[in-house]
Chain A
Amino acid sequence: DTEVTQTPKHLVMGMTNKKSLKCEQHMGHRAMYWYKQKAKKPPELMFVYSYEKLSINESVPSRFSPECPNSSLLNLHLHALQPEDSALYLCASSQGDRASYEQYFGPGTRLTVT
Chain B
Amino acid sequence: AQSVAQPEDQVNVAEGNPLTVKCTYSVSGNPYLFWYVQYPNRGLQFLLKYITGDNLVKGSYGFEAEFNKSQTSFHLKKPSALVSDSALYFCAVGYNNDMRFGAGTRLTVKP
Contacts and interface: CB of A to CB of B under 8 A. Distances in A.
A26 interface: no
Contacts of B98: 98-99
Interface string B28-52: 0000101010000111111001010
A90 B43 contact: yes
A100 interface: yes
B3 to A, nearest CB: 12
A40 B106 contact: yes
Contacts of A105: 36, 43-45
What class of interface size applies to chain A in its complex with B?
20 to 34
A97 B106 contact: no
Contacts of A88: 41
Interface of B: 32, 34, 36, 41-46, 49, 51, 88, 90, 94-99, 101-104, 106
13 contacts: A41-B104, A42-B102, A92-B43, A98-B97, A99-B32, A99-B94, A99-B98, A102-B49, A103-B44, A103-B46, A105-B43, A106-B43, A108-B42
